[in-house]
Amino acid sequence: MDWPIAEVARMSGVTARTLRHYDGIGLLAPARIGSNGHRYYGERQLLRLQQILVLRELGLGLPEIGQVLAAQLDEVDALRGHHRRLLAERDRLDALATTVSRTLTDLERSRKDGKPMNGINRPENLFEGVRPEQYGENLRDFPELAQEVARHTGTLSQEEIEAGHRARTAQMVRFAELMAAGLPADAEAVQAEAETQYRTLSGIREVPAEEYRAIGRSCVDNEQWRAAYEAVAPGLAAYQRDVIEVYTADRLS
């Protein structure tokens, strides 16, 4: 049985645009193209798509995924390997959730007492469970931007890459703090963070207003993205979306 591209997009949560991009770069060709020009995918292609998405969730870029898929000989062995890595990723996310929870508890105590953080989190522990390659910002629904990000990252040293990851992690926590403090999405301090976020992204590639708005909406609409934000603080996904919506309307329109 073959499935049309629209049905594959619905089942997988991957846009038809992204599926066409995967075909264009030789990562996932359809089983056939109908007389109407539509792409159709069979069981083997769905299994390959599953592997691509699993490897994306594990932090691999598209070039690396292509290398992995080209090198593997047996699908069962490959899936066993993916399963082991997913279990390791589950443990990492548990550690990350514990780290963020510990940080928020310490921050709340610090604000209540009016004292600095007392060392419940030593600086090196703020990033426990954070794996730098996870912060390619999950741009698979924005393939052109993802390619530019990958190219930009390739020009950086490992120290610069890790510094950028730490900065993005810290910004996520700052957004969570602003939300916890009750500041609305249009508050000046919140929009200042959005300005920093947008300038960082547009420093890699010009990001039109509608694309930035779509990125904000993906914080809620993309299941994996939403889960990542909610792991930091409940409600953060919608908060980030609203912040970007306000920023786009006020400063990019």
Do the strands 3-4 and 39-41 form a parallel or antiparallel pair, or are they unpaired?
A: antiparallel
Taking the C-alpha atoms of residue 94 and residue 199, their distance in angstroms, rounded to an integer, is 31
Digit-coded pLDDT (tens) for 155-201: 777 677 767 767 777 788 888 888 888 899 999 999 999 999 999 88
Taking the C-alpha atoms of residue 87 and residue 91, their distance in angstroms, rounded to an integer, is 6
Give start and end residues of each alpha helix (H) in the chain: 5-12, 16-24, 43-57, 62-71, 75-113, 143-154, 158-180, 188-202, 209-221, 223-232, 236-247
Q: Give the pTM.
A: 0.48
pLDDT of res. 157: 77
Q: Is pLDDT at 139 greater than 70 in this prediction?
A: no
Taking the C-alpha atoms of residue 21 and residue 19, their distance in angstroms, rounded to an integer, is 5
Q: Read off φ and ψ for residue 66, nearest 5 degrees.
A: -60, -40
Average of per-residue pLDDT across 100-109: 68
Look at residues 130, 122, 52 and name the one whose alpha carbon lies nearest to residue 93: 130
